[in-house]
Amino acid sequence: MKHASIWVPILLGIFLFVLIGYLSQGFNLANPFQTELSFSYPQIAVPRHDGGLFLIDNAFRRIVGSDALGAIDAVISGGSRDEGRFFYAQDLATDQNRNLFVLNYVHDEYGMFLKREEIMQYDHSGRFISILVQRNYDELLSTRIQRGEIWAMKSDGQWLSWLVLTDSGIEAMRISIEKRVLERLGRIPFAKSNLVVGDINWISEHELILVLKDGSFRIGNVQTGSINDPFYVAQGFPRDVPWEIAWIGDGFAYVNLVGKEIRWLSQDGGSTRSLLNPQILRSQGFPSEAFYYYRLYGNDEGLIVTTNDEGVIVFNTRSRVLAYRTSGMLSTRAVIRTILLWLGLALGLASILLGIRRFYTHSMKRRISLLLKQLLILVPVMSVAMIFIILLLSNLFLEQAIHQEELTVAALTQSIGRSIDGNLIYALQDIGEFYSPEYWELHQVLDESMNNNQDPWNRSYYFALYRVIDEVLYGLMYQNGRIGLFYPFTWYDEPNGVYSQAQEGRIATERVSDISGEWLYAVGPIRDFQGKVVGLIEIGTDLYNLSQKNRLLFFQTMRIMGVISTVVLILILIMNNLILQSIGKLKKGVGQISQGNWDYQIT
């Protein structure tokens, strides 16, 4: 009974720690005093069957769920390659059965090529259920640099459907959510679909809507394997550069990148109008800053959801804004859960300390040996010193590694920028030039300058091409082919930013954490034959993976230092024990001599 009173609290405390570590995904505990969660660069949002939302934010490494009133009731953290965790969440889908489906990208150790993409199933509360679909990639293709082949997930509660875009065509797939039966719905032969398609989405079970990067809108059918001629062609730069699109019952909603708006397009392409723009927001009393919209979701009932740099906007085909949210109050359930987790940790710690106290009181009779006292002093001091030294060294290593990468990307930017014929950029005047020989000649030169990222020394770097027109920065080319021509960004607005410095003819480097991750890159000028700056070249690398490697190095060093410290500690204890044995012999000899045994020998 006495022993049970010691070990039961200790075992209970250990059990509580293990349980809370599991429930909090590795002790990822929120602030117990936090009642509001601000969105961090929301990327994409989709509605839930209960009127709430799920959204991806925090550089694709967090999924946030909220109810119909905007209260946060689920938070799923990513950025991990562990089983049951997502690395980068790229897309979401929900259904009436309270399922959440997440398209997860897992990059290689360099943070560049996609190693696998998978569709993960979660429940309404954010609990991981299973992996429904997984595609693994070994071949290093530029079209798989930080992007995959799965598009347009949707679920009706029984089936999860998606599209696969490859170099040869578009394939429609679906899987039974309950029985895990995989079916192929059809295929459309379409050369370079993974490059020329700007966005693609479902109209019905077999019909698809496609927006190509030349601004043309087309209807495809996976059952017949056909794509119709364009039923609408956008006006192009600088008025209408279409991007993402969704079917909304009586027509289509699509993003107009350069117009900073979302437009409605009739089913026959005969009429179009603005659904959401700064003026519409201002007229309804919402923030009217002219953000760019990149992603959107729409359904058959005419509900449309989009995101900007600060929040999520929900509206309908009558341009009525139903919600504009930049944060959410944590639900009472979530707050109580967080408090209970912290209380559980405190209870677990208190239980372990109680067991230790009872062991000290009952088993050790409140007496501590000299060796144990030494351990209680040496172990904490050595542990704190070891952690401090390793943290200092790992941070120094990380800073030196980042500095070296900074020099490397700057050197690559300078050398590659000088190898580009700036006069080719003059030929890129509208979005239709995506198909021009000049565009692909530029792409080939840049690919060859980095040897298509086939070598270990260039595998971690990407390139991007930009142009500044009327003080606006436009993306012309990404190495992976993800964007089309005249894809606008707000980065040129930064005072004395790297892009404005490059436009002035200098090489500039920057470390940044934005909506797409953590990056280190250099930007430099591209000149024409007269020496005029006509474009900007960017060479960069993913810093998140470098940080992950540094964390791995930290824990590996901790393990090695732990082993070394344990050996040193054992040696110290052995030496102390030998010394104490000698002192004991001396004490015994002194006792013998004091008792008159003058012939006693002390060794």
- Best CA proximity match to 120, nearest among 134, 129, 131: 131
User: To which H or E segment does residue 243 belong?
Assistant: strand 242-247
Q: Is the pLDDT of residue 354 over 80?
A: yes
- Give tens-digit pLDDT for 54-92: 999 988 999 999 999 889 988 898 888 888 889 999 999
Lookup: tokens for 442: 């530029």
C-alpha–C-alpha distance, residues 416 and 46, integer Å: 41
CA-closest candidate to residue 154, choices 85, 88, 200: 200
Q: How far is CA 420 from CA 200, 234, 435, 476, 484, in A?
A: 33, 30, 19, 14, 19
Whether 94 has a pLDDT exceeding 90, the answer reads: yes
Query: Which segments within 443-549 are labelled E, that is strand?
Result: 461-469, 472-478, 487-489, 508-514, 517-527, 533-542
Q: What is the dihedral of CA 145, 440, 468, 514, to 10 degrees?
A: -10
DSSP character string of 354-398: HHHHHIIIIISTT---HHHHHHHHHHHHHHHHHHHHHHHHHHHHH
Alpha-carbon span 390 to 561, nearest angstrom: 9
Average pLDDT, the chain: 87
List the 100-107 sheet strands across, edge first: 88-94, 100-107, 114-122, 128-136
Structure-model confidence comparison of residues 347 and 18, the more confident one: 347
Please report the pLDDT score of residue 59 as a whole number.
Answer: 85
**CA gap 223, 210 in Å, rounded:** 16
**Residue 506, pLDDT score:** 93
Q: What integer pLDDT is reported at residue 305 of this predicted model?
A: 96
CA atoms within 13 A on the CB side of 259: 21
Predicted pLDDT at 503: 94
Specify the pLDDT at position 218: 96
Where is pLDDT greater, at 261 or 108?
A: 261
Least confident of 8-17, 45-54, 434-443: 8-17
CA distance 444 to 479: 10
Distance (Å, whole) CA 472 – CA 478: 17
Of the candidates 325, 309, 322, the residue with the CA atom closest to the CA atom of residue 42:
309
pLDDT at position 571, please? 77
Backbone angles phi, psi at 81, to 5 degrees: -90, 5
pLDDT on residue 134: 95
Mean pLDDT, rounded, for 304-333: 92
In degrees to the nearest 10, what's the CA dihedral of 284, 285, 290, 293? -60
CB count, 10 Å around CB of 256?
Answer: 23
Share of the chain above pLDDT 70, in %: 94
Distance CA 466, CA 429 (A): 13
pLDDT at 148: 94
SS3 category, 163: strand
pTM for the whole thing?
0.82
Q: What local confidence, expressed as pLDDT, does residue 517 receive? A: 60
Euclidean distance between CA atoms 316 and 249, whole angstroms? 11
What is the tens place of the pLDDT at every residue in 262-282?
999 999 999 999 999 999 999
395: CB partners within 8 A, 6+ apart: none
Distance CA 9, CA 18 (A): 14
Q: Which residue has the higher pLDDT, 398 or 52?
A: 52
- Interatomic CA distance for residues 558 and 391, integer angstroms: 10
Calculate Rg over the CA atoms of the chain: 31
Q: Which residues of 372-386 are buried (b: 16+ CB within 10 A; e: fewer)?
A: eeebeebeeebeeeb
More confident residue, 594 or 565: 594
- Return d(Cα 328, Cα 507) in angstroms, integer: 41
Q: Contact, 553 vs 397, CB < 8 A?
A: yes
Complete DSSP assignment for 423-456 = GGGGG--SGGGGGSHHHHHHHHHHHHHTGGG-ST
What is the DSSP code (8-state) at residue 145?
A: B
- Res 529: pLDDT: 85
Mean pLDDT: which of 152-166, 451-465, 518-532 is highest? 152-166
Over residues 444-463, mean pLDDT: 87
String of DSSP letters for 46-68: EE-TTS-EEEEETTTTEEEEE-T
